[in-house]
Amino acid sequence: MQKTNIPYIGFSWNPIAMRCTPCSPGCAHCWHLKRADMLAKNPMIDNTPPDSLQDAYAGIVGPTLVQSRLKIPGGKPKRIGVQFMGDLFHKDVTDDQIQEIWQLCRNSHHTYLWLTKRIDRALKWANLTERTWTPNIHIGVSICTQAEADEKVPILLSIPAAVRFVSVEPMLEKVSLRRPSARGRSFRAGDWINGLSWCVAGCESGPGRRPAKIEWFRDLRDQCEMAGTPYFLKQMDVDGKIISMPKLDGKIYQEFPQTIGNMNES
C-alpha cells in the first residue's frame, strides 16, 4: 500500500500483479500498461515462482495475488483505491482472488474504493453468493462516453452496495447521467444520478491527450447539483493546461459521499 497523488484517495493498494487489456475508448493512453511494461523488465521485481511477478506484469502468466501485499495496515482510517494498477474485475482475475480481497476489505476499518471498467463482471461476481456490502467498500464504474454511461450505469445501480459512484475520466464527450427518456426534460427524482452517491470527473492528461471542454464538466456539475449528488472535479484542461483540482465558475469541487468525509489520513 502506498501514498498516491490521486486527490480523492490517500493511498493505493494493488494486491494483484497483473497486466490488464483495453476494453474502452478510455484505455487508449493507459498509464497502467506503460508501468506494467517497465515492471516486467525490472530485475528488482521478484520473478520466483509461484509469484512470477515480472511474468504477471508481462501477461505471460495470469493475475497473481502477492502474499506480501495482503497485510492491512493499522492506524487512522484511510481512503484506499483498490487495484487501480489494472482492473479488479478483469476476466483473468479469479473469483477466489476477488473474494480474498473482499474479505480483507470488509474486515478492515479503512474505506476501499473498487473502481472498474468491467461493472458487468462485478455484478456477476456480486451475485455469486449472497453478499452484504459493508459501508466501507465503495463500488464505482469508470466511463468516458455517453454510450458507456448508458450501458454501464444501470448495471452499477443494480449492485446493492452502500456507496455507488461514477468516475467520468477521461471525459471524452458530454455525458448525461439521466435516463435517456428523461433527457431534455426537467429533472426527475428517478434519474440514474439520483441513485449515485458520488460523481468524479476529469480530463485526460499526458502525451496525445484528447481535449475535453469546460462546458462538459459544468453540465455534469449541474446534473449533480440538481440531484444533490456530491461532485469531485479532479482535473480539467484550462486554456491548454491541465489543472488539478481546478476552479469551475469560481469554486473548487471537492465533494465526497456523505458517509465518509474528505480526510486522507496517514
Give the residues lining the site for ligand SF4 (CB under 6 A): 20-24, 26-27, 30, 32-33, 86-87, 117
Closer CB to ligand SF4, 84 or 232, in the complex: 84
Smallest separation, CB 252 to ligand SF4 (Å): 26
Say how far apart CA 102 and CA 184 lie, in whole Å. Answer: 40
Question: Between 16 and 65, whose beta carbon lies closer to ligand SF4?
Answer: 16
CB-nearer residue toward ligand SF4: 64 or 229: 64
Q: What one-character DSSP code corresponds to residue 254?
A: B
Tell me the CB-side half-sphere exposure of residue 201, using CA atoms within 13 A: 32
Cβ closest to ligand SF4, residue 33 vs residue 72:
33
Q: Quote the least distance from Cβ 65 to ligand SF4, whole Å.
A: 17
Contact 223, 198 (CB under 8 A): no
Any idea what DSSP says for residue 252? E
Shortest distance in whole angstroms from residue 16 CB to ligand SF4 = 12
Between 117 and 138, name the residue whose CB sits nearer to ligand SF4.
117
Least distance to ligand SF4, CB of residue 103, Å: 24
Question: C-beta of 90: minimal distance to ligand SF4 in Å?
Answer: 7
Pick the closest to residue 190 from 179, 175, 205 (CA basis): 179
> In the complex with ligand SF4, which residue's Cβ is closer, 21 or 254?
21
Dihedral (Cα; 242, 245, 246, 252), 10-degree rounding = 170
- Residue of 38, 174, 144, 16 lying closest to 85 (CA atoms): 16
Beta strands 247-248 and 241-244 are unpaired
**Shortest gap between Cβ of 43 and ligand SF4 (angstroms)?**
24
| C-alpha–C-alpha distance, residues 100 and 43, integer Å | 28
CB of 98 to ligand SF4, least distance (A): 15
Q: Is 201 in a helix, a strand, or coil?
A: strand
C-alpha cell, 98: 476477488
Contact 12, 84 (CB under 8 A): yes
Provide the 8-state DSSP code for 194: G
Rounded Cα distance between 37 and 157, Å, is: 35
Residue with smaller CB distance to ligand SF4, 24 or 134: 24
